[in-house]
Structure formats: C-alpha cells, structure tokens
Amino acid sequence: MNWFWPEGLFAFLMVATFVFGAFSFKLPIAVAMSLAAVVGGLAAGEGLPVRHLVEGTFGYLDTILIIATAMIFMKVIERIGLLEAMAAWLIRKFKSSPLLLSLGIMLLIMIPGMITGSSTAAVLTTGALVAPVLMKLGVQIHKTAAAIAMGAIYGMIAPPINLPAMIIGGGIDMPYVGFGVPLLICTIPLAVVTALLLIYPGLRNKVRDEGALEGELRRMERVPITLRLFLPVAVLVVLLGGSSLFPSVFPSLGMPLEFLIASASAFLTGSRWKPVDTVTEAIDNALPVMGILMGVGMFIQVMTLTGVRGFVVVSALALPAWLLYVGIATSMPLFGAVSAFGSASVLGVPFLLALLGKNEILVGSALSLIAGLGDLMPPTALAGIFAAQVVGEENYFKVLRYCVTPAVLTALWGIAIILGAGYIAGVLY
C-alpha cells in the first residue's frame, strides 16, 4: 500500500483522526468517525462536505430502524418475564444433563444478539440472567464471563439479524438475502465448541449450594410459563418466516414494522408492563449502536468521495493470496477494537471485492464472523468488558484470556469457510 499517493495520504489522515479521537480524546466512536470524515473531506479539497455527510448519515437508515425496533422487542419480552421464565425452565429441565444444559444456555445467551444484531444486548439481557446461575452451578467466574462474551458475539453474527453482513453487503449493493444457512454454518459449530470448552466442564461438578440455586430459580420464575406468554415470539416468527416462505400469502411488511407488531402483541399476554418506560429504555440502549452506524455511513461516504475507498480496494486486490488471508484474520479483528461495524465497512467491503471469484454470500458471512471478534479487542472490548461487569470482575483481561482459544478458532473457521466457499456453495445450492 503506497501511502504517498494522494488517496493513501487521505486514508492515513482519516484513520489517524479516527484513532486519535477515539483513544486520545475518548470521543464516542460515532463522533470520532464523523470527525474523521470531515478531516478527509477538508484534506481532499472538498471543503466541508455537508451533503455527503448527510447522505452518509442516512446510508444505513434501514439497518438503524431494524436495530431500534428489534431492541424494543427484546425489552418487551424481557419486561413480560419471558426471558427469565425460559432460563429457569431450561435449567430445571436439563440440570441433570450437563451436555444439553451447556448447549441450551449457550443458545439462550445468543438469542438477543440474533434478534438485535448487537453483542452488547445479548450480554446485558440473557447474559446477565444466566451469569449468577452458571456460577452457582459450578462454572468458574471467568469462564462464565468468557462464555457470555463469546455467545453474545456468535449471536450477533447468527441470523436473522447480522449488522456486519448487512454493512458489507451494502458496500457492494448486495441485498441481505440468502444469508440464513451460511450464517448458521459460521456460528453454530463454534457455539457448540465454546459451550463444551467453557460451560460443560463446570456443569459436571456437583452443585455446592442447592439452596442458593433454588432461590435464584424461584426469583426468575416470577411469571409462570403459559402459551400466552409466547405470543410476541410466535407473532414475530409468523411475520418473519411467512414473508420468506410464502411471499404470495404473507407479503413482507418490513422488519421494523414486523418487530413493532410483535411487540404490540405483548399487551395480550396478560403480563403487566409499562410501554413508555420499556420503549425509552430500549431506544436508550440502542442509541450507541445507531450512532456508530451513522458515523460509519459518513466515513464510507467521504471515503468514496475522496477516492480512498477505491484505493483500499485496489491495495487489497494487489496483495498475494496468502497475505490476503493473513490480513483478513488479523486486521479485521484489530480494527474492530474501535468498532466491529467500522471493521466491516472499512475492511470487509474491500476484502469481499478482492474475493469476488468466490460465493459472495458465504464470503460475506465469514468476513462478518471475523469482524465480530472486534468486540473482544482492547481497549473497547465491548463484549468482554460488559461480560466481566455482569459477573462482578473488575479486570476484564482475566476474562479475555479465556476467550483466546475460542477467538482463534473463530478466525480460523472464518478463513476455512472462505477457502471452501466454492465447495460449500455446491452442497448448499
């Protein structure tokens, strides 16, 4: 990469401004990306590119609406007591079968990330619910936090909502269609292996304090499980699945409206909850992610305006094959230390363009998986920091050291999927 080309200098200035603002001045990631976009426009002689900044802000409007409404849905099913009741039922049902229980808990941790596309949402909802129970069941505290962090990342990458894949696809005008099975291939094997590494060994031990465990389970069972309690989930499944499987019978209403309809159906469950407080909390939790996407949009728009985007793509295409794969496995997680979404947009798009000879959906899915590892990278390490908080550990590096093995396996699995994309596509399609 020749940084002495004009586009190379612009790229350096934008990245340097971004890193300097995020780390030195501790600016929010969205603000740092917006500032980098402004600096890029000024350096390229475009002045203050207001029009492009506005266009970039709305570049991921569809994704932002999905995040907001999905977070509302998650908060609704949390407020009506469904998440706690399901967690308690799962533990009681499979407590005598450590293998099934470890896999079930991992799936439970992943669910909020699958619905919202945010690892933070998974850590702070089901992660926070299962953390005390896992520790009472005998799982070591740091392994509990590591399992929650990794499960949250796999949930963020698993279908139906995968924001990094949406961002990568949006960069080359590839619709977010047909990603379901490839994303399951990317995440389910890793989730199983991680559960066996981090959760299963602890569950094999005898519970030390049955009384404390029973008390925790009773607290979680404040709402009895009934069919009515599952109504919002059933409505969402019908709306999402029906429009995909039977488009002539169930026309697609759009994900944001489908999430809102499913959330509104919670009024029929019989559980009492405060709609205004719930929606306010949901939007408040979603604001940081929505802000990052606005900043990413501005950053990408100015990269395109100044020629930086094309420069990065050409530079990626010029790399030898072996170095390209090394770069994917290392640079995407490292850049994701600031934002996994930023990594998907800045690096994921050129890497996908460099690999256009392979199946784009499988490659995009694998790139999104590797980009998701950015949520483990210091100093931000969102998944690691929040997972450490929910178990009461102040030093999140003690948690991250248990994430090293699953993270390395994740990067290797992503590269393997890219290398075998042609064969996998032949089996699937």
Percent of the chain with pLDDT over 70: 95
Where in the sequence is the domain holding 107, given as residue range(s)?
6-223+271-428
- Amino acid 187: pLDDT: 97
Confidence of residue 2 (pLDDT cuts 50, 70, 90): very low
For residue 264, is it within any domain?
Answer: no
- Amino acid 208: pLDDT: 65
| pTM, two decimal places | 0.82
354 in Cβ contact with 316 (< 8 Å) = yes
Write out the two tokens for 336. Answer: 């994701």
- Amino acid 421: pLDDT: 92
Name which of 260, 259, 255, 261 is nearest 243 in CA terms.
255
- Amino acid 243: pLDDT: 66
Other C-beta atoms closer than 10 Å to the C-beta of 136 total: 20
For residue 309, is it within any domain?
Answer: yes
For residue 234, is it within any domain?
Answer: no
Helix axes 163-171, 275-306, angle to 10 degrees: 30
- Amino acid 153: pLDDT: 96
Q: Which amino acid is at 81?
A: G
Average pLDDT, the chain: 86
For residue 244, is it within any domain?
Answer: no
pLDDT tens readout for residues 197-216: 999 998 887 766 677 777 87
pLDDT tens readout for residues 323-366: 889 989 988 898 777 678 878 877 888 889 888 888 999 999 99
Cα distance between residue 174 and residue 271, in whole Å: 41
Write out the two tokens for 220. Answer: 């979680």
The yes-or-no verdict on residue 125 having pLDDT over 90 is no
For residue 16, is it within any domain?
Answer: yes
pLDDT tens readout for residues 4-51: 468 778 888 888 888 888 777 878 878 888 999 999 999 888 888 899
Task: Tell me which of 161 and 208 has the higher pLDDT.
Answer: 161
Cα distance between residue 142 and residue 138, in whole Å: 12
Other C-beta atoms closer than 10 Å to the C-beta of 21 total: 21
Other C-beta atoms closer than 10 Å to the C-beta of 254 total: 14
pLDDT tens readout for residues 353-363: 888 888 999 99
- The residues, any chain, with a CB within 8 Å of residue 199's CB and separated by 6 or more, are 102, 105, 106, 134, 139, 143, 144, 147
For residue 237, is it within any domain?
Answer: no
Q: Quick one: three-class SS letters along the chain?
A: CCCCCHHHHHHHHHHHHHHHHHHHCCCCHHHHHHHHHHHHHHHCCCCCCHHHHHHHHCCCHHHHHHHHHHHHHHHHHHHCCHHHHHHHHHHHHHCCCHHHHHHHHHHHHHHHHHHHCCHHHHHHHHHHHHHHHHHHHCCCHHHHHHHHHHHHHHHHHCCCCCHHHHHHHHHCCCCCCCCHHHHHHHHHHHHHHHHHHHCHHHHCCCCCCHHHHHHHHHHHCCCCCCHHHHHHHHHHHHHHHHHHHCCCCCCCCCHHHHHHHHHHHHHHCCCCCCHHHHHHHHHHHHHHHHHHHHHHHHHHHHHHHHCHHHHHHHHHHHCCHHHHHHHHHHHHHHHCCCCHHHHHHHHHHHHHHHCCCCCHHHHHHHHHHHHHHHHHCCCCCHHHHHHHHHHCCCCCHHHHHHHHHHHHHHHHHHHHHHHCHHHHHHHHC
For residue 131, is it within any domain?
Answer: yes
pLDDT mean over 66-95: 88
The yes-or-no verdict on residue 145 having pLDDT over 90 is yes
pLDDT tens readout for residues 265-314: 999 988 888 999 999 999 998 888 788 888 878 888 898 888 887 777 77
**What torsion do the CA atoms of 390, 387, 92, 193 make, to the nearest 10 degrees?**
-170
Domain total of the chain:
1
Mean pLDDT lowest among 123-137, 175-189, 362-376: 123-137
For residue 70, is it within any domain?
Answer: yes
pLDDT mean over 59-75: 86
The yes-or-no verdict on residue 244 having pLDDT over 50 is yes
pLDDT tens readout for residues 107-117: 999 998 998 88
